[in-house]
Structure 1
Amino acid sequence: MDTILGPLYDAVSWIIVQFHSFYSLIFNKDSGAAWGLSIVSLVVLIRICLIPLFVKQIKATRNMQALQPKMKAIQERYKSDRQRQSEEMMKLYKESGTNPLSSCFPILAQSPFFISLYQVLNHIAGGRTVGVMDQALVDSARKAHIFGAPIASKFMDSASKVESLGATLTDVRVVTVIMIVLMSLSQFYTQRQLMTKNVDLTVKTPFMQQQKMLMYVFPIMFAVFGINFPVGVLVYWLTTNVWTLGQQMFVIRRNPTPGSLAFKQRQERLRAKGKLKEDPAEVEARQAAEAARASRQQPKRQTKSKRQGAGAAGTTGTTGHARATAGNGEQTSLEKPEEPGAGKGKQAGGSARGKSGQRKGGPQRPKHPSKK
């Protein structure tokens, strides 16, 4: 391991020494402030160099969110053919220009520096030279304490080892526990902010479930592995989490995912400042919808007795109207003056009615006297 990562040991130790030389002009060269700030500065320098990868990570994450419905459809279509499913997935990634590993690039890029720092601090704890650090610098770093805990000490160290570094086991464990808790909380809040504010809520995808799971898994991982990290490594990782949190807050506020809660909030801010130019058609449609919603009245619920009463009244009114119409029709036909030749028609009509009455068994109408 030392042979493979030797160049990285040299690079990490050289960067720390350069920052230590600068902070020694302000603080005591053997103080925890000088060495602790050197580690923090190492993190800041690495994260600045990783900004291009972070931008790619954001784009890859959004592309993966957009592809989730299509990926789910492919899984359903070829659920019995794993090979065809993989081929279709790779084809989808190629067509969309998405790399599923892009979201892991910043973490993968940090890993060699993280491992190198871990090994450098282990060498310091053992009093051994490493990289460009000579024995004088190693001894100076071993004396440096952060809030009473040596930067090379661990939660699981024995009391005798901690005493050899000029501290007590209680101080080391209190400091490490506080830093592990802060690491876990910062990671949890970072992931929760991503889930609640920067995810398109209109599309429910498996990606959201994965992110929700990571929101709880990462803090547990920090708690488990943190007890085996030196205090200097905890400083490195806590600084990384705080940087990631601030960087994500900036991105969510300035460039949120379309369809997310943060995107709606940004649109409202721009609209309030008059910087958002809306489509007149969209404004008119929204105003019409709001007016229709305001004028809409919900019908009042009636009791059963009222509904039955209304139904009976409607039936009675309809029957009376029909009877009145029939009465008006008879009166009109009786009052209408007879036309020439109408008598024969009436007589024929009367005979027809008489025959009809005989067939139905009804009374026959008497013939007119003049016809005898």
Structure 2
Amino acid sequence: MSIFADVFGYLLGLIYGLVKDYGVAIIIFTLLTKLILMPFTIKQLRSSKEMAAIQPKMQEIQEKYKDNKEVQSQKMLELYKEHNYNPLSGCLPLLIQFPIIIGLFTALREPATYVFANNPELLETATHQTFLWMKNLSQPDLMSNIFSSGPAWLMKMPGLMPILSAVLTYFQMSSMNAAQGAAATQNNSLKMMQTIFPLMILFWGTSLSAGLILYWTVGSIFQIGQQYYMKRPVKGENV
């Protein structure tokens, strides 16, 4: 994964050299990486949309042949062939994106190693710049960034960026599940993840750097917009 971390860390360092603001550099960097990953993400979203379209027929086959798994599998394959649908098409983009995403996170988590390795003198200047309400993007965004004083438990609570990121992640997953149709909304595991994952983001916000949470937040906004665009009916397509 270090290869991806080296590449993306170098890119983030170049952007920072141009804009001289680490927070702005992370936002630009996030948008660029999302554009790079867009072909894979679109393929994944289209696969979800195709599955939602044939889902009623899939459920009909499952119910009709519930006592004959062999015939059920054969009918499913015929349905996939009829609609030119590959059930594995949604998995491949995820597998391709996984090492890239890990590399991105590694670069943002360790800027001294991957972003400012050739310019260590810029590390402290960049990460200690105030961005919005956050005083240090290399440290977690806690409520201490908002309140100058208060109870110790309050000062250690997740700040506004982790809260915003958790809310956006919830809506992103909700939109993704809706795109996959009724089966996804009725799947208890998916419904549970829709709640648990945002809570995990909130919890991670107390330990992960604000710069990393900023990346996730901007990425979630981009993803929600992309999902909304993909849900629009194509010209000539039945609504």
Verify same fold: TM over 0.5.
Answer: yes
CA displacement 1:148-203 (0-9 Å, x = unmatched)? 342222369xx9xxxxxxxxx999856x431122122223334555677x688xxx
Partner of 2:201: 222
SS at match of 2:56: helix
Indicate how the Cα distance of structure 1 residues 233 and 61 shifts in structure 2: closer, same or farther if over 3 A, else same. Answer: same
Deviation at 1:52, TM superposition (A): 2.3
1:8 aligns with 2:4: yes
Instruction: After TM superposition, list the pairs within 5 Å mapping 1:1-372 onto structure 2.
Output: 5-24=1-20, 34-80=21-67, 85-86=72-73, 88-103=75-90, 108-124=95-111, 128-130=112-114, 133-134=117-118, 135-146=120-131, 147-154=133-140, 173=156, 176-192=158-174, 205-210=182-187, 213=191, 215-253=194-232, 255=234, 263=239
Deviation at 1:80, TM superposition (A): 4.8
Indicate how the Cα distance of structure 1 residues 60 and 120 shifts in structure 2: closer, same or farther if over 3 A, else same. Answer: closer
Indicate how the Cα distance of structure 1 residues 48 and 228 shifts in structure 2: closer, same or farther if over 3 A, else same. Answer: same
Indicate how the Cα distance of structure 1 residues 69 and 178 shifts in structure 2: closer, same or farther if over 3 A, else same. Answer: same
Deviation at 1:77, TM superposition (A): 4.3
Indicate how the Cα distance of structure 1 residues 23 and 94 shifts in structure 2: closer, same or farther if over 3 A, else same. Answer: same
Matched residues, number: 227
- The structure showing larger relative contact order (alpha-carbon pairs under 8 Å, at least 6 residues apart) is 2
Larger Rg: 1
SS at match of 1:50: helix
Q: Distance in 2 between matches of 1:75 and 1:120?
A: 46
Asked whether the equivalents of residues 39 and 235 of structure 1 are also in contact (C-alpha less than 8 Å), the reply is: yes
| Structure 1 spans left out of the alignment, 5+ residues | 25-33, 160-168, 264-372
Indicate how the Cα distance of structure 1 residues 43 and 87 shifts in structure 2: closer, same or farther if over 3 A, else same. Answer: farther
| Structure 2 spans left out of the alignment, 5+ residues | 145-151
Asked whether the equivalents of residues 155 and 172 of structure 1 are also in contact (C-alpha less than 8 Å), the reply is: no
Partner of 2:149: none
Asked whether the equivalents of residues 116 and 123 of structure 2 are also in contact (C-alpha less than 8 Å), the reply is: no
Asked whether the equivalents of residues 8 and 113 of structure 1 are also in contact (C-alpha less than 8 Å), the reply is: yes
Q: Distance in 2 between matches of 1:171 and 1:107?
A: 38
Matched residue type, 2:223? T
Q: Distance in 2 between matches of 1:229 and 1:199?
A: 31
TM-score (norm 2): 0.73
Q: Distance in 1 between matches of 2:137 and 2:17?
A: 17
TM-score (norm 1): 0.50
SS at match of 2:114: coil
Deviation at 1:7, TM superposition (A): 1.3
- What CA RMSD, in Å, does the superposition of the two structures yield over aligned residues? 3.8
CA displacement 1:64-113 (0-9 Å, x = unmatched)? 01221232233334435656655654554344322334445665554334
